Structure formats: C-alpha cells, structure tokens
Amino acid sequence: MRALFLLLFILPLSLFSAKAKYLDNHSCNECHEKIYEEYQSSSHSSSYFTNELHRKIADTVSTEEYVCATCHMPMADNLKDLISGKARPKKSNKTHSDGVSCFFCHTIAYVKKSHEFNINIKARQAERYKPTIYGRLNNPDDSDKHSSTNNPIYGKMVCMGCHSHKKNDNNVTIFRAMDDKQDSGGCIKCHMPEVEGGAEKMDKRARGRHASHKFLGIHNKEMREKSVDINISSERDKLIIALTNKMDHPLIIQAARVKYLDIKVLRDDKIIWKNFDKNPSEDVQGYFALSFKNHGKKILIPATATERGVINNLGARETKTVTYSVEGLKEGDKVEVSLYVQLAKDDCLKVIDLKESTLNKPILMKKYESVLHK
C-alpha cells in the first residue's frame, strides 16, 4: 500500500486530476452501513436543498453567486462557477446534494491556513486508479472500490478547513471557533466518540469499534447538557451565577444562534424575581449572541457587515460570573437557572420567511435548581 502511495506522487502530474471519479455518499453504504446511517442523521449530510435556514440566508445574500459552496457544497464539480454565479446549485447533481460528503472529508490531503478562511487542499487522484481514501486506521485494508491510506495529518487538521474561522469581504470576523494553535484532535474526541461495530460490515480486521459519524452537537439533548456548568451562590442582596464553558470553542459560533439564561427566584412557590420580563435580551449579561453592523446600522446577516456590534460570548473553557441585585434575598429562597438556545433568533424570521418557524422556539439546554443557605 505504502508503495502505491509513493508511486502516486512520483507519477507524472499529467496523470492526476482533482476531478477523478466521484464516489457519492450512498455508494459507501455498500460496505460502511453503520457509518453511512450515522452520517445520514448528521448535519454534514444536510445541504442547500435540505437545510431551509441555510438556503434562505444564502438566497438573501445573493440569488446569483453561491459563495457558501466552499464549505457547504465543497464537493461540487463546478465549485468555481457556483461561487462566481455562472452556475446555480442543482438537486440532481450528487456532488451538490451530498453536502459535506464522505468522499470530500476523506480526500482532504491537507489544510492550508489562510486569513479569510482556511483552504482544504484535495488529494490529487490518479485517473486510471481507484481513488485513495485517507483515514486514521492502523494498517487499513483496501477494497475493490478504493485504496486506503493512513494519512498522519488527517486526525489533526481535518476539521480546520471549514470550522476554524470565517471573515467576510470587509475583513469582519463572522465566526471563530478554533484558535491558531488548536488542532482537530479535540473536535474528534467530543464529536466522533468511539462506538460499537467495525468500520466496515465484514469487519475483517475485527476492530469491533469505529468513530461515530453522527457528529452530535446542538441538536442533541445529551450534548446540550454537556456544554456549560452552572454554579449558583448568593451574598447579601446579590445573586451570583458562575458559568463555565466546558467546550473547546466559544458558546456562540453561529451568527443566527442565541443562548440565554432564564433565572427565577421563588419563595413559597411564588416567583419573587426574574432576570427578564418579556424578552431574554432585556438581560444583557445573560444573553449570549453576536451582532453585526453595516456603517453603524444594525444588520442581521453578517455577509455585508462593515463592523461587529455587541458581542456577548463565553470563550473556550472560560468561566464568567454574572451578578444580579435581588433585594431581600434570604435563606430558603429557591433559585432556578435555565440555559436555552434558539437555533434562529426571532429577528431571523423577520428578515427571511422561514416555513419551519419552530427554529426560533427556545430549546432547553440545561436546568439547575438550588436552595439558598447562608
């Protein structure tokens, strides 16, 4: 195997093409049933055609150029044309509808760091050979559909091409999930834990386990509960809440998201204090979101932002203490602290007409209760 790998690099360049035969997601199902099923339930399998929030925002940014393709439709056989507006996404084209596809991830040769966003460098494939798939298995088998190569950089950089950071044309940071020194090892540990079952259905090598491809995140209850630790204490007329982000990335990555605190103090089962009345944004400390401006005016979609607006976030592994004055707080008072997420801010529904209007419905991430004692 190693010999073939070397040979592929020594062969004259004319034999290579980045456009070698594409193996679509469904073709992997023949041998990697479990992984295929997991992957299908993940948001990487979603695309312009199936993710309404993404499609509506993309179309609001431009109905001609689909610049999002770099990360959301990376396998497109006409990527440059999509970005420049010469072509539009086509549902019947598998390289479009496959989203962040199996083949794409497993043929990233390496990731180049860059200012606006990082760049995934694809492995060159020899046209006359079956494609080479990269992974991390020790001594992987080949199959009649692909060769397998353990690529040493693979586990370290594979998430960085899309998830690290993104700036818009005006040099405004839209998101930053990873710092420069971070690698993908942590991402894989938390988002691709080892689960039962071999890596392919015959499991000839009797591995017995594989890395989960569900990529669980904000849509999963257990993952939501793992995000933040909440600690409640009090001091005279002060309610003190310490939040610790347990993740290797900020609490808020996405511009569309809001995560917020809903705090209630109860005495004899009656609410005597709340951190907000109608809208969670009334409590600026407990409302975690990113906002953007265009020449001083607040805008919702960051693609055209010229500056960032108010940012309230909780950095990777950061602990933040928020303090509220609650007059007459006393022993025996019960405090309830809930952390909620809205997948799309209320404002999103005003800017784009979302059919799935449940996207702004608050989802509970975590709830803590505590009875105060001196």
CA angle, 220 then 221 then 223, to 5°: 70
Q: Is 334 in the site for ligand HEC (CB under 6 A)?
A: no
Q: Which is nearer to ligand HEC, 14 or 138 (CB)?
A: 138
Among 173, 254, 313, 360, binds ligand HEC (CB under 6 A): 254
Question: How many Å apart are CA 99 and CA 103, to the nearest integer?
Answer: 11
Q: Is 141 in the site for ligand HEC (CB under 6 A)?
A: yes
By CB under 6 A, the residues from 166 to 205 that bind ligand HEC are 166, 177-178, 182, 184, 186-192, 199-200, 205
Q: Is 324 in the site for ligand HEC (CB under 6 A)?
A: no
Structure tokens at 261: 């605190």
Nearest to 17 by CA among 94, 134, 118, 128: 128
CB of 16 to ligand HEC, least distance (A): 19
Nearest to 371 by CA among 331, 338, 321: 331
CB of 12 to ligand HEC, least distance (A): 25
Among 8, 34, 36, 250, binds ligand HEC (CB under 6 A): 36
CB of 4 to ligand HEC, least distance (A): 13
Nearest to 239 by CA among 179, 323, 312: 323
Q: Is 83 in the site for ligand HEC (CB under 6 A)?
A: no
Q: Is 51 in the site for ligand HEC (CB under 6 A)?
A: yes
CB of 94 to ligand HEC, least distance (A): 11
Nearest to 351 by CA among 150, 61, 48: 61
Q: Is 257 in the site for ligand HEC (CB under 6 A)?
A: yes
Q: Which is nearer to ligand HEC, 182 or 294 (CB)?
A: 182
Question: How many Å apart are CA 304 and CA 209, to the nearest integer?
Answer: 45
Q: Is 248 in the site for ligand HEC (CB under 6 A)?
A: yes
Q: Is 140 in the site for ligand HEC (CB under 6 A)?
A: yes
Nearest to 112 by CA among 120, 124, 102, 104: 120
Q: Is 293 in the site for ligand HEC (CB under 6 A)?
A: no
By CB under 6 A, the residues from 103 to 122 that bind ligand HEC are 103-106, 117
Question: How many Å apart are CA 189 and CA 207, to the nearest integer?
Answer: 18
Q: Which is nearer to ligand HEC, 104 or 273 (CB)?
A: 104
Q: Is 210 in the site for ligand HEC (CB under 6 A)?
A: yes
CA distances from 286 to 130, 243, 272, 279, 329 (A): 54, 10, 19, 12, 20
Q: Which is nearer to ligand HEC, 247 or 265 (CB)?
A: 247
Question: How many Å apart are CA 363 and CA 259, to the nearest integer?
Answer: 9
Structure tokens at 93: 């084209």
Among 122, 219, 267, 334, binds ligand HEC (CB under 6 A): 219
Residue 143 contacts residue 152 (beta carbons within 8 Å): no
Q: Which is nearer to ligand HEC, 96 or 191 (CB)?
A: 191
Using CB under 6 A, which of the segments 65-73, 79-87, 280-288, 290-298 binds ligand HEC? Answer: 65-73
Q: Which is nearer to ligand HEC, 74 or 89 (CB)?
A: 74
Residue 103 contacts residue 149 (beta carbons within 8 Å): no
Q: Burial, 79: exposed, middle or buried (Cβ in 10 Å; 0-12, 13-18, 19+)?
A: middle
Q: Is 31 in the site for ligand HEC (CB under 6 A)?
A: yes
Q: Which amino acid is it at 155?
A: G
Q: Is 256 in the site for ligand HEC (CB under 6 A)?
A: yes
